Chain A
Amino acid sequence: MDANATTPLLPEVFEAMRPYWMESYGNASSIHRDGQRARQAVDAAREQLAEFLGCREAEVVFNSGGTEGDNTALCGLLAPGDHLITTAIEHEAILRTAERLATRGVEVSFIAPEPSGLIAPETVRAALQPNTKLISVMLANNETGVLQPVEEIGKIAADAGAYFHIDAVQGAGKVRLDVTRFGCHLLSISAHKIHGPKGVGALYVRRGTPVEPLLVGGKHERRRRAGTENVPGIVGLGKAVELARTALDNATLTRLAALRDRLEQGILAITGTRVHGAAPRVANTTNIGFEQVEGEALVIALDLKGVALSGGSACSSGSTEPSHVLMAMGLDKTEARASLRFSLLRTASEADVDAVLGVLPEAVAQLRAISPAVAGTAQ
């Protein structure tokens, strides 16, 4: 139930990667034939990516994943004196990078979402300044699944002559990607969110976009990303996007949405619950608030019963703050803490949903019974 955190490799992906560890282990930048075999594999993956994104092969830059893509887009384009428009509900990979740039002379505007979790395009337009260089907005929010109006924002960027970056890490594999329709110059994706391997991803860079590389060194990836190509990882990413594209073409998404709705209805039957994100969403995600429940305790209680869930982004948990996404949507700290994210794998079944519904109501009831009980300490 935590597919937005990560997904397992599909067997086809595993098989596609298999020869590139021990047999065809060549360095894709070598001249000899071992190297050429690796190069061909990387090129084939680049074709698969171009197909997936609706772009030219030369516009695909392989990297280590979503965080690197986001960092490259922001750091590679912005200089002191430039203005960045992004949103308060982005992933940490954008937020922390934007904050760091802000300490180095880049002006940053963080747009707040509507209570529904949607970024209204007019708020982006209103934030434009003469020095606005880049607009960065996510395709689908990782915590609520809400889809952002990237096409409209792309038009605003075009009107203003600003570059447009989309963090599509959570949108990839859940909605059809088309960089032309989105009107974006840059778009980040990550393999492990779509049944590919961890530690590999890609950044779409529209031809002519002046992005400085984050990593410098060798002339890999047309001097846009130095470092020996992660050949097995890139092959895995290629296979994963090919499979994701097929899944988008058939009834998988409809089936997934029906499962998600079944889960949601089942949970909403528990009193004192509500869905966060009353806007069009990706098919696999729902974020639900449970009155008078500490989300963290519920996550632990359910984990011990064999149900893996998340209170929010896996990248910010294991620690600290209530969800910045829910807080930006107007929830208070207590409400944000009392919220859980359910995200289904595209291979999820009715049995998976029923397993959750089998333990959740009791766990919630137990927590609610305990909360007020342990009171009374000295002092």
Chain B
Amino acid sequence: MSERKKIAVAMSGGVDSSTVAALLVHEGAEVVGLTLQLWDQQRLAGRHGIPDTPPVGRCCSLDDVYDARKVAEHLGVPYYVVNQEERFEQDVVRPFVDEYLAGRTPIPCSLCNNHLKFDQLLKTARSIGSEFIATGHYAVNAWDERRGRWILKHPVDLAKDQTYFLFGLTQEQLAHTLFPLGGMTKPEVREHAREFGLRLASKPDSQEICFIPGGDYKQFLAAYMEEQGREIPKSAGEMVDSGGKVIGHHEGIENFTIGQRKGLGVSSPTPLYVLQIDPASHRVTVGADDELATKTLRAHKLNWISIPELRTAMRVKIKIRHRHEPAWATLEPGGTDEAIATFDEPQRAVTPGQSAVFYDGDEVVGGGWIF
């Protein structure tokens, strides 16, 4: 790093972002640590079985802010907590709740990345005179001279690949973001953390949705709706097989996710899975595992990264959920801000509300939301 760059590091109190801060300080950058305070972990405590004390090591918990602050002190860099609880609730939590109530299966992490982690953080960074933010995401971004675009690519550690959650990044955001961990494996990151003397080098990774203690989204929905004085809309209805025959009844569509097997409340000699949720009729269709597979996918609210827009059909690999192995498909433009993909092989459980991210080799072409 030739000139002394001022970089705002998004510090969560975890080992990844802490190591990013340490690496940048080590390289001679002028680092300012920022933690986004997004959710009050005590807020729904005691409602609908949510524990009174949040589990330790949860994002936005006081423990994590404490850890992040200790790292900043250790590195001797200024550190601030930026409160964005209101925006988080508006842009992430409420859409998350509404999606479930509408029978879809949302991914809050992508919404958070789009609205909070990058948009808001970059804004805060600029307001303190820093043109760049750095995060602990495992991804690579690079400027491509030939295409005149910023490109987002798989990281070296494919097991930690977070590009699926980053498809919404704009060119502007990519141009001002650093992903220093893109070229490292997680064990290497932990090794760096140890070398830099970070006490949290062996802190476990967080996995669950940060605002849902214990990971029980139904419990969260009930508690949040109660706090808001809202009733969960009555959406009980029929459970039918793929031929349309009624085989049972259910208590509400928010209890189901495409591909779900457990808790269907109907008995069958062979395992049954949720195939379809119709928010209008409240009808939930169930069927055998092989009926879950579909060949086409429609995505909207698109964002393009390696191309300016999709004009003609394109061969891509598509990832339809976090742990999904990307599958070959032909992607074609649909209506306004829509794309239609046809998979070479039918894919299991294409789920409305999840995102579909399109890859070309190791590059993210773009992505959108399945509907």
Residues in A lying within 8 Å of B, measured CB to CB: 294, 296-298, 300-301, 303-304, 318-320, 333, 366-367, 370-371, 373-374, 376-379
Alpha-carbon distance between A51 and B314 when the two chains are bound, in angstroms: 85
Alpha-carbon distance between A274 and B129 when the two chains are bound, in angstroms: 25
A370-B127, A374-B119 given as contacts; is B82 within 8 A of A296 (CB)? yes
A304-B32, A319-B83, A320-B37 given as contacts; is B127 within 8 A of A367 (CB)? yes
Residues of B within 8 Å of A370, CB to CB, are: 123, 126-127
Alpha-carbon distance between A142 and B349 when the two chains are bound, in angstroms: 57
Interface residues of B in 167-182 (CB under 8 A from A): 167-170, 172-173
B40 interface contact, C-beta 8 A: yes
In the complex formed, the residue of B with least CB distance to A311 is B83
A304-B32, A304-B78 given as contacts; is B122 within 8 A of A320 (CB)? no
Residues of A within 8 Å of B129, CB to CB, are: 301, 304, 366
B contact residues, range: 20 to 34
In the complex formed, the residue of A with least CB distance to B127 is A297
Residues of A within 8 Å of B301, CB to CB, are: 378-379
In the complex formed, the residue of A with least CB distance to B82 is A296
Q: Is B81 touching A319 in the complex (CB atoms < 8 A)?
A: yes
Q: Is A379 touching B115 in the complex (CB atoms < 8 A)?
A: yes
Nearest 3 Cβ contacts at the A-B interface: A378-B303, A378-B168, A297-B127
Alpha-carbon distance between A304 and B119 when the two chains are bound, in angstroms: 22
Residues of A within 8 Å of B82, CB to CB, are: 296-297, 300
Residue interface mask B84-109, A partner, CB < 8 A = 1: 01100000000000000000000000
Interface residues of B in 112-130 (CB under 8 A from A): 114-115, 118-119, 122-124, 126-129
Alpha-carbon distance between A319 and B169 when the two chains are bound, in angstroms: 27
Partner of B172, one of A301, A304, A333, A376: A376
Partner of A297, one of B86, B111, B124: B124
Q: Is B127 touching A366 in the complex (CB atoms < 8 A)?
A: yes
Residues of B within 8 Å of A378, CB to CB, are: 114, 167-170, 301-303
B80 interface contact, C-beta 8 A: yes
- Minimum C-beta distance from A280 to chain B (A): 32
Q: Is B172 touching A320 in the complex (CB atoms < 8 A)?
A: no
- Minimum C-beta distance from A52 to chain B (A): 37
In the complex formed, the residue of B with least CB distance to A374 is B123
Residue of A297, A318, A374 most packed against chain B (CB within 10 A): A374
Residues of A within 8 Å of B32, CB to CB, are: 304
- Minimum C-beta distance from A183 to chain B (A): 40
Alpha-carbon distance between A304 and B129 when the two chains are bound, in angstroms: 9
Q: Is B127 touching A377 in the complex (CB atoms < 8 A)?
A: no
Interface residues of B in 216-236 (CB under 8 A from A): none
Residues of B within 8 Å of A297, CB to CB, are: 82, 123-124, 127-128
Residue of B81, B126, B128, B173 most packed against chain A (CB within 10 A): B128
Q: Is B85 touching A374 in the complex (CB atoms < 8 A)?
A: no
A304-B32, A378-B302, A379-B111 given as contacts; is B85 within 8 A of A320 (CB)? yes
Alpha-carbon distance between A319 and B172 when the two chains are bound, in angstroms: 29
Q: Is B83 touching A320 in the complex (CB atoms < 8 A)?
A: yes
Residues of A within 8 Å of B115, CB to CB, are: 377, 379
Residue interface mask B273-314, A partner, CB < 8 A = 1: 000000000000000000000000000011100000000000
- Minimum C-beta distance from A336 to chain B (A): 12
In the complex formed, the residue of B with least CB distance to A294 is B127
Alpha-carbon distance between A376 and B111 when the two chains are bound, in angstroms: 13
Alpha-carbon distance between A334 and B13 when the two chains are bound, in angstroms: 29
- Minimum C-beta distance from B115 to chain A (A): 6
Residues of B within 8 Å of A318, CB to CB, are: 81
Alpha-carbon distance between A57 and B32 when the two chains are bound, in angstroms: 51
**Can you list 8 pairs linking A and B with CB atoms under 8 Å apart?**
A297-B82, A301-B129, A303-B78, A304-B128, A319-B37, A370-B126, A370-B127, A371-B123
In the complex formed, the residue of B with least CB distance to A299 is B80
Question: A300-B127, A304-B78, A373-B123 known; 16 other A-B pairs, CB under 8 Å?
Answer: A297-B82, A298-B127, A301-B127, A303-B78, A304-B129, A319-B83, A367-B127, A370-B127, A371-B123, A373-B126, A374-B122, A374-B172, A376-B172, A377-B118, A378-B168, A378-B301
Residue interface mask B150-180, A partner, CB < 8 A = 1: 0000000000000000011110110000000
Residue of B114, B129, B169 most packed against chain A (CB within 10 A): B129
Alpha-carbon distance between A355 and B72 when the two chains are bound, in angstroms: 27
A296-B83, A318-B81, A319-B37 given as contacts; is B128 within 8 A of A377 (CB)? no
